[in-house]
Structure 1
Amino acid sequence: MLTNDRIPGVYLEDVFSTPEPELMTGVPAFLGLANSGSLNTPQLLTLWPQFEQHFGKSLSDSYLGYAVRGFFENGGRLCYVVRIKEATQSALQAGLDAIAPLDTIDLVCAPDIMKAEKDTDIWMMQKAILEHCQLLGDRFAILDAMNRSTPEIQQQKQRLSSINGALYAPWLKVPSLEKATGNGQQATGNGQQATGKTKLFEVPPCGHIAGIYARSDRAAGVYQSPANYVLEGVLDLSFTVTNTDFEQLNLKTATTGVNCLRSLTGRGIRVWGTRTLSSDPSWRYISVRRLFLTVCRWIDRNLADVAFEPNEFKLWLRIERELTAYFESLFRQGAIKGNTPQEAFFVKCDEETNPPEIQDSGQVVTEIGLAPTIPCEFIIVRLIHGSTGVAVTT
């Protein structure tokens, strides 16, 4: 509070509005096996050395520590780690239930499910992760292909289908946590051999990829594809993806594909793929799906209270006004395409989307269309606000 000395008894008070906290993206939850720490309890990490402080030294046969290290090496800044009991579906589900309430994460990784003895167990756990992401509607799964041949990876891909996940192959050769320095500096990221005798360890790529997502989001926005980035902290791949392998995993006749990691002469080891696991052409690309997931997170944060207001013209006007302002900001950033805002998006919330039966049910329905790739080619979704939150239907 500021006083005015010229007018006794009069006080001037400056009221500053609190800025809305930034909606962070590229924030994963890692689920896996650890040496110590509470089970099924999300732990926030902002630096790689914090992993050992909370979970002890990485287990010799666990991939969790490698995933978290790879995340920070590749540009990640914030993640949650959840220690699960074992690499089984029931233990995984307990971990997924633990991260369900977190509204700060938008990625899910579970590298240690690749330790399951049966392929069917791996597929079932990966499906559980995809179902978790679908149910929550605010997060995306980064899944690991099996450390197998191209035909077997192709078979794995065919068993998975979701708009909220992507599959990456092959595995990575990285310095062992038993020999590498704490920050993994012995790995160069460009495929060159590290100096000295460095023990290599083959690991699933999800943690490194999550770091790439975080780096790409900061550099270009969630609406840009997290591809063509060099993988840091990686010395080699478990196998070389040839042009034939790449074509088999990404058939032109198929709507889904496997995002390959490729060692390119003179260019390092790079992410070479941008596809989701969806057969729906509208949701083929990771950047498009993550843009819509981010939009849904923004709506859930900023318009969660509309379900408790009278479903009438004043509310419809507020929804259209706030969504239009948000989409105009996306348009200015280049997240949605068009020469004018009208070519890039539309918002519709009126008596047509909210007939009497909808109003009587206590819901508020808004129809939105965004053009993430081509002007006027809208992907249209319906937002249904209810007492339990916001549901999105296509």
Structure 2
Amino acid sequence: MPDETMTQPPIPGVLRQDVFPPQAPVFLTGVPAFLGRAATGPRTPQRLTLWPQFEAAYGTDPGGFLADTVRGFFDNGGLLCHVVRLDESKQAAAALQAALDGLADEVDLVCAPDIVTAAPWPTGGSLVPVVTQQQTLLHHCQERGDRFALLDGIPTTDTTKLMQQRAALTRDDGPFGALDGSFAALYYPWLQAAPGGDGALRLLPPSGHVAGVYAAGDQRIGVQKAPANAEVAGVVDLQAYLAPADVGALYEQGVNCLRALPGRGIRVWGARTLAEEQAWRDVNARRLIGTIGRWIERFMTGLVHEPNDVRLWVRIMRELTAYLDELFRRGALKGRTPAEAFFVKCDHETNPPAVVAAGVVVTQIGVAPTAPAEFVTVRVIHGASGVTVDAA
């Protein structure tokens, strides 16, 4: 006999049942691909979740900066990365492009720590090879629309040379023409790691450690968290110390500095892209829009081939509204209400008869990303009754 106690209460009355709705679909962000040199190991992309997996695949001394970069990522809170050993028999930019073309869709950050190989940067060294390869990364991210490049400044104490690198990255005279700098961020100076077997401090590019900062912030808060004012683990010093005036001048040009702050360790002290447009200046704004695009592509493919009518439009609006409302409640969008933070429109206006007849459904969304508080002003007011502090 069937067990009726599972469906019918023993006595008349109110029966409480806890029902847990399914969780909203999510996916991991802050997943970098590290493209670099190694003496041995597979040339196909390797998906790593622990540092020892790198040693098992590529050995303990693979050469270049790839090993230190991956270790720096995990030291700073990274959970998952992809590693690609570049084919050094190919021209550098071509090897990079081939590696980029083979990356998995879950990758949303790209780093190539071996683009800059000389540390410290040689006097009179040409920036052309460096800039050309970094433009390859930037162009790839721009074409995809949902990836972001972490670029290393050259290892120098001469900020004049660094600014030449920064200016060349988005100049329109390269192989890709004018590039959208909002898909990349540039970091400077290089890091000093603990001495190796020879007792000498090692200079390392910052991108791998910074990628760990990105990943940790994504896990703790989300992509709306500016990857800045976070301590960098696994290093002991910086190649260069910058005066506040130098930090300000570099930051104005979109160069994110790392700083050694008394009592607070070494910290990432900037979260700006290389964009000229004010709307795309903040790293979190570009990454948020890219993440929304990735979510739409991944979780709305089930609507393909559905009847293109009002019922489909309502379903699209319902699912997009629920997702954006979740972003609003997590602080990713600004505004006092959801209506101020975003809109979703999918109706007869966005889908006139000609569009429907072509088998297309058009949805318009608008979002207002939050901006980081880069400058916190505290006013000290001297009055007749004493001194008061007003934070504004």
Q: TM-score range by the shorter chain?
A: 0.7 to 0.9
Q: Is the 8 A contact 1:307 1:362 kept in 2?
A: no
Q: Is the 8 A contact 1:75 1:215 kept in 2?
A: yes
Determine the C-alpha separation between the residues in 1 that align with 2:281 and 2:29: 20
Q: Is the 8 A contact 1:28 1:109 kept in 2?
A: yes
Shift of 1:198: 4.5
Q: Is the 8 A contact 2:152 2:187 kept in 1?
A: yes
- The equivalent position to 1:31 in structure 2, one of 32, 35, 40, is 35
Superposed CA deviations along residues 363-392 of structure 1, whole A, max 9, x for unmatched, are 322111111137xxxxxxxxxxxxxxxxxx
Superposed CA deviations along residues 25-80 of structure 1, whole A, max 9, x for unmatched, are 111110001121121x11011111111101112334x0101100100111111111
Determine the C-alpha separation between the residues in 2 that align with 1:329 and 1:159: 39
Quickly say closer, same or farther: Cα 1:357–1:120, change in 2 above 3 A.
farther
- The equivalent position to 1:81 in structure 2, one of 80, 83, 90, is 83
Shift of 1:110: 0.6
Superposed CA deviations along residues 158-179 of structure 1, whole A, max 9, x for unmatched, are 1224221100001011125x54
Determine the C-alpha separation between the residues in 2 that align with 1:333 and 1:275: 22
RMSD over equivalenced CA pairs, Å = 2.3
> Is 1:119–2:127 an aligned residue pair?
yes
> Is 1:59–2:62 an aligned residue pair?
yes
Determine the C-alpha separation between the residues in 2 that align with 1:172 and 1:203: 5
One-letter identity of the residue aligned with 1:144? D
Identity %: 51
> Is 1:175–2:183 an aligned residue pair?
no
Quickly say closer, same or farther: Cα 1:18–1:336, change in 2 above 3 A.
closer
One-letter identity of the residue aligned with 1:4? P
- The equivalent position to 1:96 in structure 2, one of 85, 100, 110, is 100
Quickly say closer, same or farther: Cα 1:69–1:90, change in 2 above 3 A.
same
Q: Is the 8 A contact 2:35 2:113 kept in 1?
A: yes
Shift of 1:342: 0.4
Superposed CA deviations along residues 183-223 of structure 1, whole A, max 9, x for unmatched, are xxxxxxxxxxxxxx843210110000000001111222210
- Match of residue 298 from structure 1: 295
Q: Is the 8 A contact 2:152 2:207 kept in 1?
A: yes
In structure 2, list runs of 5 or more residues that go unmatched: 6-19, 119-124, 171-180, 372-392
What TM-score do you get using the length of structure 1 for normalisation? 0.81
- Match of residue 148 from structure 2: 140
One-letter identity of the residue aligned with 2:42? S
In structure 1, list runs of 5 or more residues that go unmatched: 8-15, 180-196, 375-394
Determine the C-alpha separation between the residues in 2 that align with 1:276 and 1:357: 39
Determine the C-alpha separation between the residues in 2 that align with 1:59 and 1:222: 32
Determine the C-alpha separation between the residues in 1 that align with 2:239 and 2:183: 26
Quickly say closer, same or farther: Cα 1:360–1:160, change in 2 above 3 A.
farther
Shift of 1:17: 8.9
- Match of residue 327 from structure 2: 330
- Match of residue 4 from structure 1: 2
Determine the C-alpha separation between the residues in 2 that align with 1:281 and 1:107: 22
Matches within 5 A, 1:340-359: 340-359=337-356
Does the residue aligned with 1:108 lie in a helix, a strand or coil? strand
Determine the C-alpha separation between the residues in 2 that align with 1:166 and 1:115: 19
Quickly say closer, same or farther: Cα 1:21–1:369, change in 2 above 3 A.
closer
Quickly say closer, same or farther: Cα 1:331–1:37, change in 2 above 3 A.
same
Aligned residues: 339
Does the residue aligned with 2:284 lie in a helix, a strand or coil? helix
Determine the C-alpha separation between the residues in 1 that align with 2:349 and 2:168: 40
Determine the C-alpha separation between the residues in 2 that align with 1:73 and 1:83: 21
- Match of residue 49 from structure 2: 46
> Is 1:216–2:217 an aligned residue pair?
yes
Determine the C-alpha separation between the residues in 1 that align with 2:358 and 2:115: 42
Q: Is the 8 A contact 1:35 1:57 kept in 2?
A: no
Task: Compare CA radii of gyration and give the structure with the larger one.
Answer: 2
- Match of residue 371 from structure 1: 368
- Match of residue 381 from structure 1: none
Deviates more, 1:107-116 or 1:292-301: 107-116
One-letter identity of the residue aligned with 2:145? G
